[in-house]
Amino acid sequence: MIGGWSVRSAPGALVLVIVLGVAGTTMAALALRHADEDRADRAGAQQTMLVQQVVSAEIRRYSTTLADLAAAVGSQAELESAEFTAITAPIDQERLPGATGVSLVVPATDAEIPAVQSYWRARGISGLTLAPAATGPDHRFIVLNRPIDGSSPMYGRDVRASPAATDAMTAARDAHAVAVSRAFRLLRDAQLPLREQQLSFALAAPVYATSPDAPDNGRFRGWLVMGLRGGNFLHQVIGTVARDTVAVTLYDPSLGRTTPVATWQPNVAADHSHPARTATVTVPQRAWELTVQPTVRLLPASARDLDRIAWLIGLVITALLAALIRTVSTARDRALKRVDEATVALRDDIHRREEVEHQLRQRESELVGFAGVIAHDLRSPLARITGYADFLRDEAGPRLDPVHRDFLERLYGGAERMRSLIDDLLDYATADNRELTTARVDLRDLAEDVLAERVGDSVEPTVVLDRLPVVEGDPTLLRQVLDNLIGNALKYIRNGADPYVRVAGADQSPDQWRIDVVDHGIGIPEEQRETVFTAFTRADGSAGYPGTGLGLAIVQRIVERHGGTVGVTANPGGGSRFWFTLPKAVHQLSPSATATSASS
C-alpha cells in the first residue's frame, strides 16, 4: 500500500510508476549535473593552471632573452651602434609577442649630458640629441634602440619621464637582475590614438661592462629596457593555448582591480554558472594577477546537456511505462468484464436448465402418477379376465379340443403377464410418489422375511445372511428393495447352476451403511451396469427370464429417497454384486448367520 492506494489496483500501479519514474529520473539527472559540475570545475582549474604556467613561462623567456642581450652588450669593450644592432639582431627571430623593441638606456646628470651626447654620437648615432625631462638633475637617456614592432628608432628620450619604467630600472640595478615595471603607457604610444593605446610593461636588465679590455670594466653602464604591450602579449600568448574555452584578464595589483591591463575575450559567451578563478603569476620583482572565466566551450555541448537529455529520456520512459500499464490494466478490466458477463450468462443458463429440469421432473412425476392411476384402474377388469379364464380352464378345459385349450392357456398367460406389469407399474408409481413412513427397520428381519417368501419359488438356494444393520426408513419400501434384489439373484441363475445369494452389511463411511446382495448368476455386461437402473431397460442375456425392466428402477428410486445410492459390480467369483447405501440411523449391526435355506 502507498498512501492508501493498493499497488495491485491499476491506478495505484500507475501512480507508483509515475512517482518512482519522475523521482528516479530527477535523481539521475541531478547526479549527472553534479558530475558535470565536477568535470567543469576540474576543467576550469586545469585551464587556469595552464594559463598561469604559460604566462609565467613566457615572461621568463622574455626576461632571459633580455638578460642575455644585456650580458652581450656588457661584454663589448667599446660599444658601437653597429655592434648593438648586430647583438640585438636575433630578437627579430625570437617570437616575442607584444614586445616593442630593446633600448640601451644610460644614466646622466644635467652636467654630464653634453659629454654623454657627444660620446654616443661618436659611437654611431650621429644625430643624437638628449632631451632631458624636467624631473630633476638625474636623467636616463635612450642612446641606442632597436624597434621590433615596425616603429622607427627613438633616441635621446629621457626615460625619467615615465616613473614606472624608472622604478623598474632602479629595482633592476638594485637587484642586479631583470625587473618588470608596473603597468603604464609607453612614451612612444603617446602619439597613438587613445583607443589604440594600451597599458604596457617595461622589462629592465642592468648592463655591466665585463670586457677586461674595456676602460669601464666592472662598472655599471646602464640598462637594456624592453617595452611590452600588455594587450598584444596576452592575446598572442593566451590566444594559442586557451582558444575559446576561457576569458582571461590580466591585472597589475599596483593599479588595483578597476583597471585591467589586458583582456583576452574569445568570441563566445562566458559560462557564469561556473565561477571565475584567480591566479597569481610571479614575474621578475613583482606579481601579476590573472582572472580566468570559463566560457560555454569549456565542456563540449553534449557533456553539458547530459543531465537534461537524461531527464528527458527518463520522462519519456516513464510516460511509456505508464501508458503500457494503462493499456494492460484496461485490457485486464475488459477481460474481467467479459468474464463477469460470461458468468452471468452461465448463471442464467444454469437457472434455465434447473427450471427445465424441474418442469421435466414434474411432468415425469405426473406421468408416473398417471401410469399408477391407469394401472390401478386396469386392475379390476384384468382380475375379472384372469378369474373367468381360470374358471374356463377349470370348468370347460377338459371338454375343449387341444387347439382351443392352447388358446385359453395363452389368454391366461397374457393376462398374468399384464397383471405383473401392472403390479410393477403401481410399485414404480408408489416408490416415486408415496409419502415415506419411517420407522426403525431391522434389515436382517426384512431379508429373512423376503427369503422365506421367495424360497418356494425356486430350487433350494444357498443363502448366506451376514450381519445387517438396523436403519431408519420406510419398512414397506425397504422390503421392496430387498425383495427385488434377492428376487433377481434367485431369478437370473445360470443354466444348471444352483441359486446362491448372500446379503451382507458393512460400514461404508462414518455416516453410511453399505448393503451387498451377491449372486453367482449370469452377471451383467460391464457397459450395461448403469443402464439397468433405467425403467424398462433389460440387459443382454435376460431374454429367457421373465421380467418388466422396472424392478431396479424401483430400487434406485427408493434408495435415493432414503438418502442413499445404488450400483452394481461384477462378483469376483462370477455373477453380480448389487449394493446400496443407507444413512446410519442406528450405529450397530445385527449378528451374522449362515444358512443353506431361507428358514435357517
Q: Which CB sits closer to ligand ADP, 78 or 540?
A: 540
Pick the stretch among 64-72, 177-185, 206-214, 546-554 that binds ligand ADP (CB under 6 A).
Answer: 546-554
Q: Which CB sits closer to ligand ADP, 197 or 542?
A: 542
Residue at 63: amino acid letter: S
Backbone torsion region of residue 215, taken as left when φ is above 0, otherwise alpha when ψ lies between -120 and 50, otherwise beta: alpha
**Is 280 strand, coil or helix?**
strand
427 binds ligand ADP (CB under 6 A): no
* Window 195-224: contact mask with ligand ADP (x via CB under 6 A): ------------------------------
580 binds ligand ADP (CB under 6 A): no
* Window 94-133: contact mask with ligand ADP (x via CB under 6 A): ----------------------------------------
Q: Which CB sits closer to ligand ADP, 79 or 486?
A: 486
**Residue 116 CB neighbour total at 10 angstroms:** 19
Q: Which CB sits closer to ligand ADP, 325 or 517?
A: 517
Query: How many residues at the interface with ligand ADP, by CB under 6 A?
Result: 21
Rounded to the nearest whole angstrom, what is the least distance from the CB of residue 518 to ligand ADP in the complex? 9
Alpha-carbon gap, residue 515 to 590, rounded angstroms: 13
Please list the residues that pair with 247 across neighbouring strands.
Answer: 293
542 binds ligand ADP (CB under 6 A): yes
Rounded to the nearest whole angstrom, what is the least distance from the CB of residue 342 to ligand ADP in the complex? 42
Alpha-carbon gap, residue 91 to 73, rounded angstroms: 14
| Binding residue (CB under 6 A) for ligand ADP from 97, 156, 547, 574 | 547
Alpha-carbon gap, residue 120 to 505, rounded angstroms: 156
Q: Can you say how many angstroms the Cα of residue 370 is from the centroid of all Cα atoms in its chain?
A: 72
Q: Which CB sits closer to ligand ADP, 67 or 539?
A: 539
Rounded to the nearest whole angstrom, what is the least distance from the CB of residue 355 to ligand ADP in the complex? 31
Residues 481 to 540: which contact ligand ADP by CB under 6 A?
484, 488-489, 492, 519, 521-524, 532, 538-539
Q: How far is CA 252 from CA 44, 63, 182, 259, 291, in A?
A: 22, 18, 7, 8, 11
Please list the residues that pair with 202 across neighbouring strands.
Answer: 227
Rounded to the nearest whole angstrom, what is the least distance from the CB of residue 578 to ligand ADP in the complex? 7
Alpha-carbon gap, residue 107 to 95, rounded angstroms: 30
Alpha-carbon gap, residue 117 to 132, rounded angstroms: 11
Dihedral sign of CA atoms 398, 401, 403, 408 in order: negative
Alpha-carbon gap, residue 310 to 179, rounded angstroms: 54
Write out the three cell numbers for 251: 591585472
Write out the three cell numbers for 516: 451387498
Rounded to the nearest whole angstrom, what is the least distance from the CB of residue 404 to ligand ADP in the complex? 31
Q: Which CB sits closer to ligand ADP, 446 or 539?
A: 539
Q: Which CB sits closer to ligand ADP, 174 or 457?
A: 457
Cβ-closest position to ligand ADP? 547
> Residue 506, exposed/middle/buried by CB under 10 A (0-12, 13-18, 19+)?
middle
| Binding residue (CB under 6 A) for ligand ADP from 166, 548, 571, 581 | 548
Rounded to the nearest whole angstrom, what is the least distance from the CB of residue 490 to ligand ADP in the complex? 8
Query: Reading across the β-sheet that carries 593-595, which strands appear in turn?
Result: 566-570, 576-583, 512-519, 500-509, 462-465, 593-595
Residues 549 to 568: which contact ligand ADP by CB under 6 A?
549-553
Q: Which CB sits closer to ligand ADP, 260 or 523?
A: 523
Q: Cell 597613438: give the residue.
A: 192
Rounded to the nearest whole angstrom, what is the least distance from the CB of residue 517 to ligand ADP in the complex? 8
DSSP state of 200: E
Write out the three cell numbers for 72: 652581450
Q: Which CB sits closer to ligand ADP, 318 or 571?
A: 571
Write out the three cell numbers for 354: 434447473
Rounded to the nearest whole angstrom, what is the least distance from the CB of residue 450 to ligand ADP in the complex? 14
Where along the sequence are the contacts to ligand ADP (CB under 6 A)? Answer: 484, 488-489, 492, 519, 521-524, 532, 538-539, 542, 547-553, 576
